[in-house]
Structure 1
């Protein structure tokens, strides 16, 4: 019987493969999983290729027995509808929480009342009158005593360096110092191994694959400590150990010795909150972990792609350097305030282009609470799996024009010479609707400060032959890093 089945299936499979209109085939029994696995090294580009051929919305069929069919969409109308117009019907949902169990009761995993509490509490901290000064001091300190010494060391020895790794270490130290009042010191000339800093990448790759594997499979791997699930479990233990240790240090401080910090403000704001586990300490750990992920990975990823694009566009690099030089007026880069950074239009446009083409969070998982019809006409049932492809949105000619694949900072110039603003459902790097990233301004300030410091001191060139491509992760990191060489310059003498 098996032989007969194979004899009939092979011709049918070949027939379907030859007649397919899309670069993916809906195979008998296995659905589209074989092609997804074969293209796992370019998952985001495959999704973009398919969505361009299907007017922005496409049903990805999984194996018939697994119940993992997913509706992919990059249609701005659908995205605007789910994230804004009908926001209440598209919460994170139980399936999202199941996949992202590592996030616990943090803001990324929360819905309804708990999410509102998170949002209000975090906003109150970010809106505190002292926060902008605290943020600026935090970033400049890490640039001066962490980033620039490392860059000076590698450039003086003509070494290759992985700029993505340096950015990850920078943002990890910076968010820990800002959030926990503790600097792990991962960004120093010695580049020490800090387990918590490395655990983020391992965890995010495992979470990415949970979207495509049947739940029974990854839960079995988790139970027996196999594959990427083993690395995810190890990462969870590392996160717990690191964060709880920081809590203990904070608890050991006398009240009069405490300075007004973010963690103290959060603890006061969340007073009485226990989360689903009814454990106050775990609830605060979940809260902090969510903010650490936001602070480390999104900013470091955006900076990596920005400098990758800049290295391929020397004219843009020169324009940004000239713009910075004009505003410095012979002073050092440290003299630029947050207000001054807001006047750097070309720098802003370059960062936005990097975020458009390479959004750090490349996709978003949604599941409707009730059956619905999307603006594209697609019917979705209760708890359907919907994937919003933010990566694809920035690469659609119908949204950004025929030059959508070009790096053009000028795209963000207004007619009056200022900064042009685009609707959030079109420029989706910071999400949209009520869940728009609360740290958007904070992230932009950090990216502009770091970029300014580097561009003022160095010309960045890609190492010849180094392959740059996206990794298989929920965060759009570079799979092989960003290998570069740095050439010192003096911005006040450069022409």
Structure 2
């Protein structure tokens, strides 16, 4: 009893010391306005600096990495969190993502942080990941799905996006383009993945519970990278904060996806749809038509995880890129003019002053538009950071030692702002940097331009994303004038997806009668 009481008193005393140090450190950090590297405080590590900059996390990461020359070790709480090596050095990234890929899986920490994704392709490692990727690659690149992609994307632009834009232009009202793009990508992702169109992109702007749940989950996952595990466990235990919102979000995602699977199973049982459909089929139909393939059992758990992973990839990344693209174009009218001229070059002279949409073939030839989208992804990558966990101790090309139970994080957002990588004009929006002297798209190595990942885990949906982004960008720029509301605040949100914190408020006017 005495020993137990002594231990309790000791624990209480240690907690009091910890809180006192944390309070002092946070007070110091909030009072210090200079740009400097974070202080490594006793017990609390560099957490106070993270707390101080919660409202501007990506800007702060950029400052720290630039001050440190490209790589920086973030010291976590001494008793419960792993240290993090932040690096943007292309040599390190090439080594991790390609040269020594097998020693740098996503790891157990990644799976815990992103547990809402289950055992889907983003969390999977080793043989499980290889099998999932091989299957997804074969389905996405199959001619049937490609036909389905082209047809569905065109239909959603013509019958979903355009009616909303026409309504907004006619009313002369302010619209949140980020919301419009999220509705567009949610609808088209749902069609491509499940075959069902939820019809969220309409002039009524209905509430989208699934999308709200995704936003809540992405924000909560972001804060899991900052707050100590003990604090997160306390939230889960007491049922409050972002961990509670994440729990509720998961319920919504699980319920919605279960409904999709049930409806698809009913369709297949009635044979109202088959994988031989000449117009192509959605991915869920293809998965469910093979109860077991490539050693994967496509049961409800597998289907649930696969659908949620595809929704994260399809809905959020493309809508984020489109939002930042239109903001950058609005700030650079000369870029907008060049895109318009490029679009007109593919239109017969007598039709250049008329309202029209563009075919997939026409879009594939738009070099300057492609460069402008790449430039957007360089400066505002939808997935602003990613991380790995070494299996065995290793030394990176920069000389930094890494090992198990350590996180290696690279900030894609910061990479686009490094003069050492992109030159002294790295902060400028210049689509021309993506065009060669011969007038073709210039290839940049993936370990330098990481928007679509690199190495064996290179994004399978890159072609799908460009098809959709070009279709939307061309339709809006040729047919409408976009004017961002004067004084509208533009800043990244605190999320694992680089959304705009306040959306993108704008007015649209029709260019052609």
Report the count of equivalent residues.
486
Q: TM-score, normalised by structure 2?
A: 0.90
Structure 2 equivalent of residue 303 of structure 1 = 322
Matches within 5 A, 1:97-112: 97-112=111-126
* 1:365 partnered with 2:380: no
Out of 321, 338, 344, the residue aligned to residue 325 of structure 1 is 344
Contact 1:61 1:69 in 2 (8 A): yes
Out of 366, 384, 409, the residue aligned to residue 387 of structure 1 is 409
Report the Cα distance in structure 1 between the residues aligned to 2:128 and 2:355, rounded to whole angstroms.
Answer: 42
Q: Deviations over 1:434-465 (max 9, x none)?
A: 00000001101110001111112111111011
Local SS of the residue matching 1:124: helix
Local SS of the residue matching 1:183: coil
Out of 273, 285, 307, the residue aligned to residue 258 of structure 1 is 273
Contact 1:149 1:189 in 2 (8 A): yes
* 1:399 partnered with 2:421: yes
Q: Deviations over 1:324-346 (max 9, x none)?
A: 11112227776633232121111
Contact 2:86 2:410 in 1 (8 A): yes
Cα distance, 1:259–1:62 mapped onto 2, change above 3 Å? same
Structure 2 equivalent of residue 24 of structure 1 = 38
Report the Cα distance in structure 2 between the residues aligned to 1:283 and 1:219, rounded to whole angstroms.
Answer: 27
Out of 281, 288, 294, the residue aligned to residue 267 of structure 1 is 288
Matches within 5 A, 1:31-430: 31-253=45-267, 254-260=269-275, 261=281, 262-269=283-290, 271=292, 280-329=299-348, 330=351, 336-430=358-452
Cα distance, 1:410–1:257 mapped onto 2, change above 3 Å? same
Contact 1:121 1:269 in 2 (8 A): no
Contact 2:216 2:246 in 1 (8 A): yes
State the 1:154 CA deviation. 1.3
Q: Deviations over 1:151-176 (max 9, x none)?
A: 11111111111000110010000010
Which has the higher mean CA deviation after the structures are superposed, 138-147 or 213-222?
A: 213-222
Contact 2:287 2:298 in 1 (8 A): no
Q: TM-score, normalised by structure 1?
A: 0.93
Report the Cα distance in structure 2 between the residues aligned to 1:467 and 1:196, rounded to whole angstroms.
Answer: 26
Contact 1:333 1:452 in 2 (8 A): no
Out of 451, 462, 486, the residue aligned to residue 508 of structure 2 is 486
Q: Deviations over 1:175-215 (max 9, x none)?
A: 10111110111110000112112211110000000011111
Local SS of the residue matching 1:328: coil
Report the Cα distance in structure 2 between the residues aligned to 1:484 and 1:40, rounded to whole angstroms.
Answer: 27
Report the Cα distance in structure 1 between the residues aligned to 2:295 and 2:502, rounded to whole angstroms.
Answer: 40
Structure 1 equivalent of residue 457 of structure 2 = 435
Contact 2:357 2:474 in 1 (8 A): no
Which stretches of structure 1, 4 residues or longer, exceed 4 Å deviation after superposition? 17-21, 272-275, 331-335
Structure 2 equivalent of residue 448 of structure 1 = 470
Report the Cα distance in structure 2 between the residues aligned to 1:14 and 1:213, rounded to whole angstroms.
Answer: 19
RMSD (CA atoms): 2.5
